[in-house]
Amino acid sequence: MKLLSKVIVGTSCVTIFCGTAYVAALTLAPPPNYTVSNNDRLKSYDVLSVNNLYEKKTKCQEFYLGLSRWRRKMLRDEGLLRGRVLEVGAGCGGNYAYYPHSYFTEDPEVQKHLRRYWASDRVEEGARSGENATSYMLQHIVKENPCDEIILCDRSAGMVQSCVARIQNRLGYAPYRYPDYNIAAIRSTIEARLDPERSSADGAGNEAAAKTAYRKRKIVYEDGTVQEVLVTPLSGNDEAEFLVATAENAAGSTNDVIVPVLHNFDAGDKLPLLSKEDEAALAKREQDIRARQKFRLRIENQLRREEKESLVRRSTADTSLNEATSAKPHALKTPNELLDEHHNLQKQPLFAVANYAAEQLPFPDNSFDTIVDMFGLCSFDDPVRALRELSRVCKPGGRLLLIEHGKGHTGRVNNHLDKWAPRHAKNWGCWWNRDMRRIIRLSGLSVEKWESKHFGTSHYIIAKPFKSMEEWDRYDLERKREVKNAAA
């Protein structure tokens, strides 16, 4: 007993001593005197994507901090996912476990009951749906498999490959990959914009780039002392590095270079991001996904109609009414986009991947029902522009689901984050000292729910997209046109 107590006391003393020494070393150590190139910061993600190194390093930290519970709560417990889902900054696909893994028609029980709608004139008695089957179908479609497509999008090509490998290992198929950026068109756009600037004054441009390489912030302590620390230093020459990389790489593959964010106020789908062939492929994919959404909506409406009829039958004793409401279901035509060459419903892989930056997405307006971004605003070049772009591609009734980290409530915590921000950016590729409250405010999002913990540095946010009145009117007009075409 005495030996055990000595071990406990000794271990406690060593732990306290080591913790105190670590805190003192962090407090007294000078801030980093180096800068972090934006491309070097982004390339660190390719290093962390090898063998899912990023997820392995952060898994224990997220468990102890309760962030994995936040992920499960947002993506599964609260039932916020629906329709077409876009996750930006997907990383190695760490949220895969919390997503549904199949389209609703993949369930054998659902397929058995769907045969009633495909050929109502030859319905077998054993395949006819009862009240329990109708309830099961609604439960399965609305709650268990509410998604039509889940796109795992990341700017890092290495992270995208990690997502592809995870889906192949878990689900056994290669996910659809959206067309990559058109390197040649982006390069010509950058050259056309930079050539006049270079011809005017090369020396002035180099001097401006050198000035933007360092960004300092003054911190005033309680005793009145002032200290300058480096915060989010950027190299300012992303486009020049891109031109050099594409000149060396004749193939122009996005796996070898990092496409810069074009400094333009146009929406992503208005920028020269894709070639004509890729734009046609994107439009074809959009058409296929809309067919999935329409098919799901038809099935849901039919099931709700049957559920309503069953309630009427149970509430009345009129046999003639019961016979009328228990008639065979109407046949529902399956969209041609969902059929194979034998006119059978083919498998609909739920997951897809894309190698895009959140600030410039080639998707049309109002393309997604749900946007997911977890620990992405700290790594985007322009987080406010990224949120505006995500609002553009999100439908007016959709949601943005965000879990982020940044500045906290107390000055001491923020001073620590500011001091060691360059080192964290060099190792992990993200700026952990960004003011998330200011970013959300400037983006115009309408926040529905906001929770914070860890001294205010971790944020759980559910928001509505920012939409102008013109965008609302345009969206309502498009919906009315679609309803009119469907009725015709």
69-127 pLDDT per residue, tens: 999 999 999 989 999 999 999 988 889 999 999 888 887 777 777 776 665 444 444 44
What is the DSSP annotation of 357-384? BTTB--SPTT-EEEEEEES-TTTSSSHH
Tell me: do 10 and 156 sit in the same domain: no
pLDDT-derived band at 43, boundaries 50, 70, 90: confident
Residue 185 belongs to a domain: no
Question: Does residue 212 have a pLDDT over 80?
Answer: no
At 225 the pLDDT is 67
pLDDT for residue 367 = 93
18 and 149 fall within a common domain: no
Residue 463 or 304, more confident: 463
Instruction: State whether 429 and 282 are in the same domain.
Output: yes
Q: 380 and 474 share a domain? A: yes
User: Per the domain annotation, does 323 fall within a domain?
Assistant: no
Residue 223: the pLDDT is: 61
43 occurs within a structural domain: yes
Alpha helices in 81-149 (DSSP H): 108-118, 131-138
482 and 416 belong to one structural domain: yes
Q: Which residues contact 65 (CB under 8 A, 6 or more apart)?
A: 454, 458
pLDDT at 125: 42
Better-scored residue on pLDDT, 333 or 230: 333
Q: What is the C-alpha to C-alpha distance for residues 42 and 474, in angstroms, rounded to an integer?
A: 37
Q: Which DSSP letter does residue 212 get? A: T
User: What is the average pLDDT across 336-356?
Assistant: 84
Tokens matching residue 449: 């729910």
Residues 411/217, Cβ–Cβ less than 8 Å: no
Residue 201 pLDDT class (50, 70, 90 cuts): very low
User: pLDDT at position 130, please?
Assistant: 55
Residue 204 lies in a domain: no
More confident residue, 17 or 410: 410
pLDDT of residue 12: 82
In a domain, residue 224? The reply is no
- Same domain assignment for residues 1 and 94: no
The total number of structural domains in the chain stands at 2
pLDDT at 186: 83
412, part of any domain: yes
Write out the two tokens for 196: 């006049």
Read off the pLDDT of residues 234-280 as tens digits, 9 standing for 90 and up.
444 566 667 776 776 655 455 667 777 877 667 777 888 899 999 99
Same-domain status, 19 and 45: no
CB 157 within 8 Å of CB 226:
no
For the chain, give the percent of residues with pLDDT over 90: 30
List Cα–Cα distances, 200 to 194, 211, 235, 321, 336, in angstroms: 10, 18, 21, 84, 57
Q: Per DSSP, what are the bridge partners of residue 219?
A: 227
Same domain, 5 and 99: no
Question: 474 and 385 in one domain?
Answer: yes
pLDDT of residue 471: 84
Name the percent of the chain lying above pLDDT 70: 77
Summarised one tens digit per residue, pLDDT across range 282-339 is: 999 999 999 998 888 888 888 888 878 777 777 775 555 555 545 455 556 777 777 7
Give the pLDDT score at 128. Answer: 44
Burial of 356 (0-12, 13-18, 19+ CB in 10 A): buried
pLDDT at 2 over 50: yes
Residue 461 gets which letter from DSSP?
Answer: E
Residue 166 has pLDDT above 80, yes or no: yes
Range of the domain at 20: 1-30
The whole-number pLDDT of residue 156 equals 87
CA angle 200-262-257, nearest 5°?
Answer: 100
Residue 31: predicted pLDDT: 66
Q: What is the CATH number of the domain that holds 403?
A: 3.40.50.150
Say how far apart CA 488 and CA 483 lie, in whole Å. Answer: 9
**415 found inside a domain:** yes
- Mean pLDDT, residues 126-136 taken together: 59
Q: Are residues 393 and 432 in the same domain?
A: yes
- Per-chain mean pLDDT for the chain: 79
**How high is the pLDDT of residue 249?**
60
Q: What is the pLDDT of residue 213?
A: 41
* Chain-centroid distance, C-alpha 250: 31
Residues 441 and 419 both lie in one domain: yes
Q: Are residues 26 and 151 in the same domain?
A: no
State the Cα–Cα distance between residues 221 and 238, nearest whole angstrom. 35
Query: Which of 462 and 474 is assigned the larger pLDDT?
Result: 462
Look at residue 123 and tell me if it is in a domain.
no
